[in-house]
């Protein structure tokens, strides 16, 4: 228990010292939110820690002060000098108690009622004219004198001592198997080993360069011994995670009593070891999360009974190794996160708009709990519920290179998953080169390396200016390291190189580098203060060859580029889950035009994306045009009239170009967002001209544009065929209204007369009625009779038995093609490859076919 108090004192002193300064700063700038949050957090931590250390006096004062600060933070009260004075008084009281605690190991006796009443009044907005400075000196006088009450506190600790007792006899009986070593000694050892590792690496490199055989054997031995020594010293720093959990049973027990719940704490993998430095850093977040689970996660006993669950709620801690990481899960079998409340709260706090929320997956909404100041607890209790918490936990976990995630299902519970590196001191890193400079990337975050460019490698594609890589049917966003670091890219076509596929939280992205050198064990050294503001480096180190190298922080890169923003995570994860089920999936180009709602158009329809200099755009008769390949290409604004404000600012206009033979037409949009492959399900057609309706794409509500309508805006001649051809009649069988909308105008534009039906049965009905066509284009996947069925039915006989029959399908592989031919299709075209369809039709119709 003494250790705990000592820890607490050290921490509290630190916090209090910072607070005095912060409070004074706050008084000068009452609107300064970060300062307020900082003060609030310190007080909150003090209060929380006292709660389970059994320091009721301290807790009461801190709680009252926190109440007032909470009101300030929420903006319910204005920060006034009187208020600050009051908080400072509370701080003085806390210091007084802490001083007593330090001296005697127990809280000094004293009465804080007057101060607490004043604080509570202040929290309610009432200011007592005379705050209570009086009791303080009284305490001061009282504390040293009244020794007798002190024994109270130790007696409360007595059971704790007993609880530890079973360990003692064992330790006493046998000769001591362990000795106490000061942490400083271990730290020094670790540092020396780090240096040794570096020197060893240097030697190895020299030996390799010289090719000197004489040294190689002893060097090998030195190398092995160094590695073993490193392991050994690392082991001395390893501690079972159970050490960080030792306070939790008591905490949970006290909580259970306080909250009137029955709670069972289950701890698995308590002997899982991790570096003490890491352990220190996750101790507090863990405590906080267990407290949260017990307080918010678990329902009251009555609610549990009503829900048909066992009365005793369970909080489960589980730790295990996975790769170079340790995974800690904190799970409860409570009610799960309240998605509706989180959504409301996110809306109320302006973290997202209603439209954005509507498009978000549940898991994505749950992640709002990691935002600063976010708490959904309806009641503020002494335990938790003020919105200090998960954001702090997340910050702490990320600081040590870890990630945190949450999985929750309503009525069944919530699980937090923390993934952290085993050690921070020596890490394996990948040395990469970009623009002639070398950098180290910790292996922890690296999933794989992909060679790109050249003749054999995968190709980096560009969506507007954003590079992406198609990796096993997923679009991986890429970040150019040279660009992030503001270095010159080696060549404009620097798409030859490597992509380091990196994971940050649940998001995956690629970092483009020119070259990959080697992996090396590196000792992470912090960067000097004058470089700390650069977020993309987590430290620096000295390589085997003696040169200094900067260590990149993938978290920082993700933050700097926004490539792994909270919202994008879930989407990436969904992408993985959906995998290869490509049936019915369409590549869609997402863009923004006019309002904030994303818009989508099938990528296959877009001939090209262009980024035109604004000065090349001319206006003729009020309509925008641009000269393109010796022709005038009309430009239609999608977001209101004229150029978009963004284009004006950038002096370049983004244009989607649609081509039809010789003619092209551009639609001016604000920005290209993404290309996704999704199953398109258009919900509720809109009355808005130019839109087919909306669909949920990439987790967001997206307007699907009616391409045909927009093309018509270019003028009547868009659909008039170039050369009058003999109007051939086509029958299109397609169940998706959306695709009918797309394909019919497109075919009509090529000069065909098109009739479209939505089912094979309708097509057969037309045949019975004696309708005449020159060719049939049919979808394969359709409800009821599918395309194969239709083909067989047609080939069996009847008026259309000899007609060219073209299959459209998302799947264009060899077996599908063979099957289509078997069924009787003349040709097979990938779904909405317009040029292929046009070519196929032209080909089929040129064949001497006996028109029925």
Partner 1 sequence: MRTQTMQHAIDAGELVLTLTVGGQPCGVPVLVVRDVLGAQGITRIPLAPPEIEGAMNLRGRIVTAVDLRRRLGLPPRDAETKPMSIVVEQGGELYSMLADAVGEVVPLLASDRQPNPPTLDPAWREVSRGVHRRDGQLLILLDVERLLEIGGGR
Which positions touch partner 1 (CB under 8 A)? Answer: 195, 198-199, 437-438, 485-487, 525, 528-534, 536-537, 540-542, 546-550
Q: Which is nearer to partner 1, 195 or 772 (CB)?
A: 195
Copy the structure tokens of residue 557. 């890169």
- Find the shortest distance in angstroms from Cβ 559 to partner 1: 13
Contacts of 653 (CB under 8 A, 6+ apart): 611, 612, 613, 614, 617, 635, 643, 644, 647, 668
Of 505, 527, 562, nearest in space to 439 by CA? 527
Pick left, alpha or beta for residue 304 (phi over 0 → left; psi -120 to 50 → alpha; otherwise beta). Answer: alpha
Nearer to partner 1, 76 or 531 (CB): 531
Q: Which is nearer to partner 1, 22 or 549 (CB)?
A: 549
- As measured in angstroms, the least distance from the Cβ of 560 to partner 1 is 9
* 139 token code pair: 């305490």
Residue 186 tokens read as 């271990």
Q: Which is nearer to partner 1, 72 or 537 (CB)?
A: 537
Structure tokens, 320: 């295990």
Is 783 strand, coil or helix?
coil
CB of 203 to partner 1, least distance (A): 13
Cβ closest to partner 1, residue 321 vs residue 532: 532
Q: Show the tokens assigned to 792.
A: 């067989």
CB of 447 to partner 1, least distance (A): 24
Structural contact between residues 234 and 423, judged by C-beta atoms closer than 8 angstroms: yes
Residue 61 or 431 with smaller CB distance to partner 1: 431
Q: What's the min distance (Å) between Cβ of 549 and partner 1?
A: 6
Closer of 177 and 547 to partner 1 (Cβ):
547
Nearest distance in Å: CB 438, partner 1: 8
| Cα–Cα nearest to 297, from 335, 262, 260, 330 | 335
Return the residue matching tokens 């200094």: 548
- Three-state SS annotation for 581-640: CCCCEEEEEEEECCCCCCEEEEHHHCCEEEEEEHHHEEEECCEEEEEECCEEEEEEECCC
Q: Which is nearer to partner 1, 120 or 437 (CB)?
A: 437
In the complex, the smallest distance separating the C-beta of residue 199 from partner 1, rounded to whole angstroms, is 8
SS3 call for 326? strand
Nearer to partner 1, 218 or 526 (CB): 526
Distance CA 837, CA 812 (A): 13
When the beta carbons of 197 and 352 are compared against partner 1, the nearer one is: 197
Shortest distance in whole angstroms from residue 542 CB to partner 1 = 5
Minimum separation from the CB atom of position 201 to partner 1 (A): 12
Choice between 422 and 441, CB closer to partner 1: 441
Q: Answer yes or no: are the C-beta atoms of 18 and 79 closer than 8 Å.
A: no
Give least dist CB 382 to partner 1, A: 38
Residue given tokens 């991790």 in the structure block: 274
- Minimum Å gap between C-beta 435 and partner 1 is 9
Show the tokens assigned to 301. 């006993």
For residue 529, the minimal CB distance to partner 1 (Å) is: 7
By beta-carbon proximity to partner 1, the closer residue of 154 and 546 is 546
Q: How far is the CB of 434 from partner 1 (least distance, A)?
A: 9
Q: Would you say the C-alpha torsion 554, 558, 563, 569 has a positive or negative sign?
A: positive
Encoded tokens for 343: 């959504």
* CA 749 and chain centroid, separation: 44
Name every residue whose Cβ is closer than 8 Å to that of residue 825 and which is 6 or more positions away in sequence. 778, 787, 791, 805, 806, 807
Report the residue count for the chain: 852
Spatial separation of the C-alpha atoms in residues 375 and 407, rounded to whole Å: 17
Q: Which of 288, 201, 285, 184 is nearest to 236 (CA)?
A: 184
Residue 393 contacts residue 383 (beta carbons within 8 Å): no
Residue (450 or 536) nearer to partner 1, CB: 536
Give 28-51 as a DSSP string. Answer: H-TT-HHHHHHHHHHHHHHHHHHH
Report the C-alpha gap between 254 and 51 in whole angstroms.
Answer: 9
CA–CA separation, 44 and 35 (whole Å)? 14
């Amino acid at each position: 228990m003494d250790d705990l108090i000592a820890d607490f004192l050290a921490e509290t002193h630190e916090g209090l010292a910072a607070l005095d300064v912060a409070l004074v700063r706050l008084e000068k700038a009452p609107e300064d939110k970060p300062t307020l949050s900082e003060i609030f957090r310190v007080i909150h931590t003090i209060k929380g820690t006292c709660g389970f250390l059994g320091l009721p006096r301290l807790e009461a004062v801190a709680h009252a002060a926190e109440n007032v600060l909470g009101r300030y933070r929420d903006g319910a009260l204005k920060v006034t000098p009187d208020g600050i004075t009051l908080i400072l008084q509370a701080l003085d009281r806390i210091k007084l108690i802490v001083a007593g605690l330090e001296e005697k190991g127990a809280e000094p006796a004293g009465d804080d009622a007057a101060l607490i009443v004043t604080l509570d009044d202040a929290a309610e907005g009432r200011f007592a004219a005379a705050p209570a400075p009086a009791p303080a000196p009284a305490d001061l006088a009282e504390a040293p004198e009244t020794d007798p009450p002190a024994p109270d506190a130790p007696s409360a600790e007595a059971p704790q001592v007993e609880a530890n007792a079973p360990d003692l006899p064992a330790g006493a009986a046998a000769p001591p198997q362990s000795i106490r070593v000061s942490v400083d000694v271990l730290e020094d050892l670790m540092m020396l080993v780090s240096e040794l590792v570096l020197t060893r690496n240097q030697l190895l490199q020299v030996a390799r360069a010289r090719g000197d055989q004489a040294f190689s054997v002893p060097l090998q031995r030195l190398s092995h011994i160094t590695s073993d020594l490193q392991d050994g010293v690392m082991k001395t720093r390893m501690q079972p995670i159970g050490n960080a959990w030792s306070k939790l049973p008591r905490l949970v027990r006290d909580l259970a009593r306080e909250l009137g719940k029955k709670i069972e704490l289950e701890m698995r993998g308590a002997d899982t070891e991790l570096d003490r430095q890491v352990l220190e850093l996750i101790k507090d977040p863990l405590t906080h999360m267990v407290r949260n689970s017990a307080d918010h996660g678990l329902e009251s006993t009555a609610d549990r009974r009503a829900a048909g669950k066992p009365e005793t709620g369970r909080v489960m801690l589980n730790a295990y190794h996975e790769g170079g990481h340790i995974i800690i899960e904190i799970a409860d079998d409570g009610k799960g996160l309240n998605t509706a409340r989180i959504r409301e709260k996110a809306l109320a706090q302006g973290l997202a708009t209603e439209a954005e929320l509507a498009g978000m997956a549940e898991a994505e909404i749950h992640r709002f709990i990691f935002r600063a100041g976010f708490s959904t607890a309806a009641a503020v209790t002494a335990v938790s519920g003020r919105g200090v918490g998960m954001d702090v936990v997340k910050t702490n976990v990320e600081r040590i290179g870890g990630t945190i995630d949450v999985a929750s299902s309503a009525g069944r519970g919530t699980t937090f998953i923390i993934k952290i590196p085993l050690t921070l001191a020596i890490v394996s890193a990948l040395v990469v080169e970009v623009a002639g400079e070398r950098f180290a990337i910790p292996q922890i975050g690296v999933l794989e390396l992909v060679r790109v460019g050249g003749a054999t490698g995968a190709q980096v594609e560009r969506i507007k200016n954003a590079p992406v890589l198609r990796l096993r049917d997923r679009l991986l966003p890429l970040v150019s390291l040279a660009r992030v670091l503001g270095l010159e890219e080696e060549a404009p076509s620097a798409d030859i190189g490597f992509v380091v596929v990196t994971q940050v939280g649940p998001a995956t992205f690629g970092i483009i580098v020119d070259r990959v050198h080697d992996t090396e064990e590196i000792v992470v050294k912090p960067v000097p203060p004058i470089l700390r503001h650069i977020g993309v480096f987590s430290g620096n180190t000295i390589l085997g060859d003696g040169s200094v190298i900067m260590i990149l922080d993938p978290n920082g890169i993700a933050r700097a580029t926004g490539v792994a923003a909270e919202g994008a995570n879930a989407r990436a994860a969904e992408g993985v889950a959906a995998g290869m089920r490509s049936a019915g999936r369409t590549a869609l180009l997402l863009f923004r035009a006019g309002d904030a709602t994303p818009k989508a158009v099938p990528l296959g329809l877009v001939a090209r994306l262009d980024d035109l200099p604004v000065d090349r755009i001319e206006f003729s008769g009020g309509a925008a045009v641009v000269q393109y390949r010796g022709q005038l290409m009309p430009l239609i604004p999608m977001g209101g009239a004229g150029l978009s404000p963004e284009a004006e600012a950038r002096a370049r206009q983004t244009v989607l170009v649609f081509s039809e033979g010789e003619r092209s037409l551009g639609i001016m949009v604000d920005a290209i967002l993404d290309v996704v492959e999704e199953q398109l399900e258009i919900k509720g057609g809109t009355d808005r001209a130019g839109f087919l309706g909306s669909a949920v794409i990439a987790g967001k509500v997206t307007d699907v544009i009616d391409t045909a309508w927009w093309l018509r805006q270019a003028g009547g001649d868009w659909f008039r065929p170039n050369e009058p051809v003999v109007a051939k009649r086509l029958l299109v069988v397609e169940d998706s209204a959306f695709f009918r909308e797309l394909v019919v105008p497109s075919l009509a534009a090529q000069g065909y007369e098109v009739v479209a039906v939505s089912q094979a049965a309708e097509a057969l009905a037309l045949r019975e009625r004696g309708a005449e066509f020159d060719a049939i284009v049919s979808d394969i996947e359709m409800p009821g009779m599918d395309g194969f069925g239709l083909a067989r039915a047609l080939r069996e006989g009847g008026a259309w038995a000899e007609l060219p029959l073209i299959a459209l399908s998302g799947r264009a592989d060899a077996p599908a093609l063979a099957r289509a031919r078997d069924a009787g299709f003349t040709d097979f075209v990938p779904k909405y490859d317009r040029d292929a369809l046009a070519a196929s039709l032209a080909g089929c119709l040129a064949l001497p076919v006996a028109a029925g």
